[in-house]
Structure 1
C-alpha cells in the first residue's frame, strides 16, 4: 500500500514534468517572438487545475496531516500547504491571462513570458521539495497499516488521471495527441 500511494504521487510528478517541459518550450518560443498554440498551453494549465489541484495535492495534504498526527508535530510552518495555495493562485492567474488571449484581448507578451517562466519554476521547485524532503519522511515514518488508513481517507480525492490514464476521457485529447507526437 505504501509503495502504491507514494508511487502514484511520484508517477504524477513524472507526468507533470512532461507538461512543464512543454510549457518551457512554449515559453521560450513565445519569448523569441514565435507563434505558439495558446489552446495547448491553456489545456496544460487546465489539467494542472483539474487534476493536480483537485486530486494530487489534496492527497498529499491528507498524507501530510496524517504524518503530523502520527509524529505528534504541529503545523507551525506548513510549507506544503503554502506551496499548494501559491500554485493554485499562479495557475488561476495564468489561466485568466490565457483566456483573455484566446478571447482576442491583447495582453503584454513580456508579462505572459514572465508568468509562464515563474509558473514552471514554482512547479519544479515544489516537486523537488516534495521528492527530496517530504516523500522520504513519509516513507520512513508511515507504516503499512497507516497506509491502509490513508488509502481510506483518500478515497474521495482519488480520481483517474484525465490525461495519463487509459480511460476514454476526451477532455485533453488534443494535449494527449501532442504529447504522443512529441515523444
Structure 2
C-alpha cells in the first residue's frame, strides 16, 4: 500500500545518499590520483570532506535512520532483522572510522609517502563499506518499509527527514550546505568545480 508521506521520505534519503556518495567518491578519487603518481590535491579538500561526513551523516542522517526507519521497521517485521543489525553496527562504528581516517590523513600530511599506503587503504575500505551500506538501505530497508510501515510510521519519518532537506531550517543545516558547496568548489574537476590536479 502506498502512503502519501513515503515518497517524501524516500526522496530525501536518496538525495542525502547522493550528496554523501559525491563526497566519498571525491575522497576515493584523490587517493587514487596520488597512488597513480598524480599531483596531491590540497589537503584542505580531505579535511573538508571528513568534516562534512562527521557533521552530516554522523550527527543528522544516521540518528534519524536509526529512530525513524530501523526502530519502527523492527516492530513491523522480523524479515530484515539481520540487515538492520548490520546497519546499526556500522552506524555505531562511524565516528571511530572517521577518527581513524583523520589520524591517517595527519600521518600522511606529516610523514609523506611512507604513511600514504595506510591512508589510501583506509579511504578505500571506508568508501567500499559506505557504498555497500547505502545499497543495503535503498535495496532492502526502504522496500521493506514500503511493505510494512503504517501511515503513522511514514508521517513520523517524513517530519524528521523533511527538516534535513531545507538547508535554511536552522543554522546547523545552513552551515552544512555551505560546507558542501565549499567541497564542490575546491574539489578538482572532473568531480568538482575546482582546477584539475
TM over 0.5: yes
Instruction: Note the 1:4-83 alignment, pairs <5 A.
Output: 4-34=8-38, 35-62=40-67, 63-71=69-77, 78-83=85-90
1:175 offset after TM fit, Å? 0.9
Q: Secondary structure of the equivalent of 2:135? A: helix
Secondary structure of 2:37's aligned partner: coil
Deviation at 1:87, TM superposition (A): 2.9
- Measured in 2, the distance between the counterparts of 1:148 and 1:133 equals 20
Tell me the residue number matched to 1:116.
Answer: 123
What TM-score, normalized by structure 1, do the two folds share?
A: 0.80
Deviations 1:112-142 (A, max 9, x none): 1111111111111111111111111112111
Partner secondary structure for residue 41 of structure 2: coil
Change (3 A) 1:161 1:117: farther
Give the TM-score normalised by structure 2.
0.75
Higher alpha-carbon deviation: 66-75 or 17-26: 66-75
The answer to whether the 8 A contact 1:49-1:91 is kept is yes
Q: How does 1:113-152 map to 2 (within 5 A)?
A: 113-152=120-159
Segment drifting more, 48-57 vs 138-147: 138-147
Give yes or no for contact 2:45–2:183 (8 Å, CA) kept in 1.
yes
Give the Cα–Cα distance (whole angstroms) in 1 for the partners of residues 193 and 80 of structure 2.
47
Contact 1:27/1:116 (CA < 8 Å) preserved in 2?
yes
Structure 1 unmatched runs, 5+: none
More helix by share: 2
8 Å CA contact retained: 1:53, 1:88: yes
Counterparts of 2:96 and 2:164 in 1: how far apart (Å)?
22
